[in-house]
A and B are shown apart, each in its own frame.
Chain A
């Protein structure tokens, strides 16, 4: 099978995979077992970049997490438990692939403590935006492989977030009053 990297963009390659799913009758989201080579590559990236916080087994029990203040920073996720803070899905649901991709890309900001004067608002989880997009997707596939829920879910519903209301002088005055 020829390699399509370079011939097709990352988006086009995902589009081909989505089309291919229709042959098998699989209508749900991408599942890790369909891309074992991506999971393997994601595992290698995970070992280099993610283990110190998220732990060798993805349980959020890396040695670094213990020194992050629980009052000021979200703790590294236990990927096996399936509880994620940053998601666009309803409570109790697993995040979408796009949610995970966004977290890996943007990192996580934190309030910081008194000793982080001047650095408050800086990230507690790094941004991996300079990691090539396909490698970020590979890491996401590996993370999804750690929880059975990603393997078995058939349907993904996101919470619709309406556009923010416009900032008008009346609205601001009412907010100040309250």
Chain B
């Protein structure tokens, strides 16, 4: 387990008008964790989040950042806010400058970067969120999802260790929400701790490492999502709804089906449950292969050639730059969210698939497929994109 980055000890906060928003909260968050704070409106989520970067001062209790108590003098707050980036719920309120470039540059400029440093930080941040070329656009011309990305880029430009997002998916369409969640995943993969507050149980459930259920300024439950979202009584009290997969799992159990293993978090897990339940695999004798195309390394011609040789292939893109690349090449994508799982599902049907992804995410594909292989005993071949002339040779076949 990695070390603790944020810790709260018995936080209490009362609004000036006398309502107690936070009444005795203690918890800790480890480095590189993905935390989802869920609860009904008025549970104190936003108030709690605002305490993480010192925007709200608790009445009592302390917050530790990197094992040091937060101090509220100007210099310490500056340091804290550089390291804990906060993205407001409403991007219109977060974006303050008249152009995208200026807004993203706001943080670095105030941190005292020189001109080239600012430019570099802005370029990097915009690249991260997939908004290259938007520098001179005024924010009021952007769509909701794009504004959200600008807001995130504005915080990323300060290179924080912890990213706190208040309702990152509110007001976005489903695919926009998924894109944002994937972006957060990608950032987490790059080593950032991510804390979000949300009502969207379906999105938070597969995404989070840990979920914190809040109600009336207190923590109702704090655990891995399977447990935190698995208690119908708590879910009801917190005005949420059970994730569909968990509900399905519960209903199957209520009907006397013995489901082994852990509770399902993804469709893939659920498939695995069914397969063990029916004591047979739906998998073809020979699972399909997953090919990875690293958009940072593989060149365009190779990809196009490969695509033209496999025209019916299902394609997924993981990561912002990969998606952008696909858009540039006018490739239609079959999957843009939960790509690895969907490709594994395809492979189980005996179909091949292609994943476009970025340098840093390649290892993740291997990891996920490996983990799945260990759990299910089915080994799915994964290979990097080559010239495509020779057939798949490595790791072929299922080892049952």
The judgment on whether A and B are partners is no
Instruction: Give me the interface of B with A, judged by CB distance under 8 Å.
Output: none
Instruction: Give me the interface of A with B, judged by CB distance under 8 Å.
Output: none
